[in-house]
Amino acid sequence: MRILVVEDDERIAEALKSALSMAGFVVEIESDGEAAWYRGEAESFDAVILDLGLPSLDGLTILKRWRKADRSAPVLILTARGQWEERVEGIEAGADDYVVKPFRVEEVVARVRAIVRRAAGHASSRIEISDLVLDTRMMQVSRNGIPINLTPQEYKLLAYLAHQRGRVVSQMEITEHLYSQEFERDSNSVEVLVGRVRKRLGSDIIKTRRGFGYFLGGDAE
């Protein structure tokens, strides 16, 4: 899952990046409003954490532009304590949730998980696909009731496909959502990763639509 953190306070941004990375997310940071707006329009993210007070372009304007352009990634806004008008305006503009500063990073991580789940149509942190169960809060996987140990990258792949249940996901999309921009990727890295997950969970767990990509669960769209 790829998250864009838009925050001009370096200390806060790094704290969020550290906590979200530990929770299994791939995190990109932008501190400038104009740059953040452009990336949100040009790139695909699973969620955005958006501070409202930004240089060059404020967060509320960014959010309104994204929604006008039909960019539907769930957005969690960060606001200062007492500025309830901003919170209301942010929700009305299309934000999915908000957190008031100062905050605990654990709360932000929990709220990000929740908006990502809701965007994918999942009501709880437990995702069940036939005999496969993912606990996205504990980052645990089991099949037929048997716990399966996965590496962090293997878990990220399985969780992303689970959130996209029934939809064919291309190798390029998987690469964008599993690896940071700084990571040097091999052309066959996704194929290798899929092979490793199949070896641990069974060859039938991740299905292939040849020439298009991979999917979990049922008949793919």
Structural domain count of the chain = 2
Do residue 143 and residue 115 come from a single domain?
no
Q: Binning pLDDT at 50, 70 and 90, where does residue 80 land?
A: confident
Checking if the pLDDT of 218 tops 80, the result is no
Check if the beta carbon of residue 16 is closer than 8 Å to that of residue 50. no
Q: Does residue 193 belong to any structural domain of this protein?
A: yes
Q: What is the pTM of this model?
A: 0.86
What's the pLDDT at 79? 86
Amino acid residing at 163? H
Q: Lowest-confidence range among 1-10, 61-70, 102-111, 121-130?
A: 121-130
| pLDDT of the residue at 6 | 98
State which of 81, 100, 120 marks the end of a domain. Answer: 120
Q: Residue 63's closest CA among 82, 79, 81, 83? A: 79
- 79 and 154 assigned to the same domain: no
Considering the domain boundaries, does residue 221 fall inside one? Answer: no
Instruction: Supply the Cα-derived Rg of the chain in whole angstroms.
Output: 18
Query: What's 93-162 look like in SS3?
Result: HCCCEEEEECCCHHHHHHHHHHHHHHHHCCCCCEEEECCEEEECCCCEEEECCEEECCCHHHHHHHHHHH
Q: What is the reported pLDDT for 187?
A: 63
Per-residue pLDDT tens over the stretch 18-74: 999 999 999 999 999 999 999 999 999 999 999 998 999 999 999 999 999 999 999
pLDDT the model gives residue 120: 87
For residues 182-210, average pLDDT: 87
Domain that holds residue 28: 2-120
> Which of 120, 142, 173 marks a domain boundary?
120
Do 38 and 98 lie in a common domain? yes
Distance CA 196, CA 207 (A): 14
